[in-house]
């Protein structure tokens, strides 16, 4: 069976816990930040279980409990327990894990009585499926996550005829219109970029996130279009959606394909 709703309830707990820790960051010598990392990392790990089939709830529980002790974030993975600061960090790691395991038992006990966890679809893709998608990002769009993409790459992808970019501030007012063009949140997309957590992965999502510290490219499941958010505040568009996006952004035509960095 697929237990997406149970998993989403667990993810929602992680999201809320991350907010609590983030708001408390700076207190207690900043060690609450490691609790924030644990919660964010757990949400990431739970997203690898979306749409995965389990023979029973017990099998789901075993998998989730296994993931509790799988770490990708260096600050969580390698706390030097001999130093007082890192012993405190370890305390926040263990505290967060205990609280999560307690909530896991609550969720499992409710089973079908759980309300719907209303959060956007997000599936983290690992292994051969991720490798195949990464290769397609490279072959279709010329994108590799260790390099920049259009317009920041050294050589423009001449084989992609339909493409243009604007600075993010000119795109932002039209974001909702772009989401309508893409059919969000009903339509599923793939995203790929600089990894927040190891290992290498792609994401299937219904959310178009703007740049949040990591270069990210989005594409539809047919790889007919691409949207790229960069560290330099550019938003690049390529492929089949370009004519419609240009129509939406026609009022910003003077800013198409121009770098206009605001350093203030």
* pLDDT of residue 66 exceeding 50: yes
Higher pLDDT, 83 or 192: 192
Is residue 44 a contact partner of residue 126, using CB atoms and an 8 Å limit? Answer: no
pLDDT at residue 79 tops 90: no
Mean pLDDT of all residues belonging to the chain: 87
Cα–Cα distance, 235 to 199 (Å, whole number): 26
pTM (2 decimals)? 0.89
Residue 229 predicted with pLDDT over 90: yes
Other beta carbons less than 10 A from residue 91's beta carbon:
15
Give the pLDDT of residue 183: 95
Q: Please, which residues bridge with residue 165 across strands?
A: 236
- When pLDDT is cut at 50, 70 and 90, the band that residue 23 belongs to is confident
- The 10s digit of each residue's pLDDT in 135-151 is 999 999 999 887 888 98
The pLDDT of residue 80: 43
pLDDT tens-digit readout, 91-100: 778 888 999 9
Task: For residues 35 and 93, give the distance between their C-alpha atoms in angstroms, rounded to a whole number.
Answer: 6
Least confident interval from 35-44, 57-66, 145-154: 145-154
Query: In the predicted model, is pLDDT for residue 74 greater than 90?
Result: no
Q: Does the pLDDT at position 244 exceed 70?
A: yes
Q: Residue 104, Cβ neighbours under 10 Å: how many?
A: 19
Residue 71 pLDDT > 50, yes or no? yes
Q: How do residues 216-227 score in pLDDT, each as one tens digit?
A: 999 999 999 999
């Amino acid at each position: 069976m697929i237990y997406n709703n149970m998993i989403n309830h667990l993810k929602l707990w992680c999201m809320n816990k991350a907010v609590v820790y983030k708001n408390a960051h700076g207190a207690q010598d900043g060690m609450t930040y490691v609790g924030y990392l644990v919660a964010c990392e757990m949400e990431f790990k739970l997203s690898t279980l979306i749409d995965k089939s389990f023979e029973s709830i017990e099998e789901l529980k075993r998998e989730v409990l296994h993931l509790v002790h799988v770490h990708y974030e260096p600050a969580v993975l390698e706390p030097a327990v001999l130093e007082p600061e890192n012993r405190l960090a370890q305390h926040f790691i263990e505290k967060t894990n205990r609280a999560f395991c307690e909530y896991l038992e609550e969720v499992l006990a409710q089973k079908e009585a759980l309300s719907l966890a209303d959060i956007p679809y997000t599936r983290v893709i690992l292994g051969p499926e991720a490798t195949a998608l990464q290769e397609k990002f490279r072959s279709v769009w010329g994108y590799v996550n260790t390099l920049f993409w259009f317009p920041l790459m050294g050589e423009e992808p001449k084989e992609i005829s339909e493409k243009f970019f604007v600075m993010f501030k000119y795109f932002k007012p039209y974001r909702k219109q772009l989401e309508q063009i893409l059919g969000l949140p009903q339509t599923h997309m793939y995203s790929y970029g600089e990894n927040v957590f190891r290992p290498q992965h792609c994401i299937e999502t219904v959310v178009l996130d703007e740049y949040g510290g990591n270069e990210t490219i989005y594409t539809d499941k047919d790889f007919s279009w691409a949207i790229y958010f960069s560290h330099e505040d550019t938003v690049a568009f390529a492929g089949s959606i370009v004519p419609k996006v240009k129509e939406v952004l026609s009022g910003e035509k003077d800013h198409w394909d121009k770098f206009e960095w605001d350093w203030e």
